[in-house]
């Protein structure tokens, strides 16, 4: 199983995991780390190291909210470990799609996360209009 650590500025990661667990129920080896407003890069790195140890798994995917932010900078230090991958763009479709696939390779789960995160962004008005136009043509 691949462990997942979601990291965000403020409580987003924790709230997102709570929302995902409303759909799938309580999840094992899924942790949130929330960066406090006055928290330092160093204290966040300690939290990340503690979470990695607590998961006690060979493979871990860390998903941060924003490229270039403090969570991203803190997790970049983990990239020297080939059993840890870091991706950005934390969102609910991403988590919902990767949870059932955590028995796959770290690379596969990372790709699923990226694709699902991107595919979860939809202009609903445009999609609705397109569907209505397609129905009218049939």
Per-residue pLDDT tens, the chain, 138 aa: give them.
Answer: 999 999 999 999 999 999 999 999 999 999 999 999 999 999 999 999 999 999 999 999 999 999 999 999 999 988 899 999 999 999 999 999 999 999 999 999 999 999 999 999 999 999 888 888 877 765
Helix H, strand E, coil C: the string for 100-123 is HHCCCCHHHHHHHHHHHHHHCCCC
The catalytically annotated residue of 3, 9, 10, 135 is 9
User: Which pTM value belongs to this model?
Assistant: 0.91
Strand, coil or helix: 130: helix
Domain 3-137 has CATH 3.55.50.30: no
Active site residue 101: no
Q: Of 103, 76, 104, 100, give the one whose Cα is nearest residue 88.
A: 76
Which tens digits make up the pLDDT trace of 66-105? 999 999 999 998 889 999 999 999 999 999 999 999 999 9
Q: Would you list the domain boundaries of the chain? A: 3-137
Residue-level pLDDT at 134? 78
């Amino acid at each position: 199983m691949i462990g997942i650590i979601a990291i965000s500025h403020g409580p987003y990661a924790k709230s997102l995991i709570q929302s995902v667990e409303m759909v799938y129920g309580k999840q094992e080896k899924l942790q949130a780390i929330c960066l406090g407003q006055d928290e330092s890069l160093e204290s966040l790195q300690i939290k990340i190291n503690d979470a990695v140890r607590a998961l006690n798994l060979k493979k871990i995917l860390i998903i941060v909210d924003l490229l270039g932010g403090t969570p991203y900078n803190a997790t970049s230090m983990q990239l020297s470990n080939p059993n840890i991958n870091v991706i950005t763009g934390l969102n609910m479709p991403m988590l919902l799609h990767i949870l059932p696939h955590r028995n796959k390779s770290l690379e596969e789960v990372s790709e699923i996360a990226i694709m699902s995160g991107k595919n979860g962004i939809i202009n609903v008005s445009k999609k609705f209009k397109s569907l209505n136009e397609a129905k009218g043509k049939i």
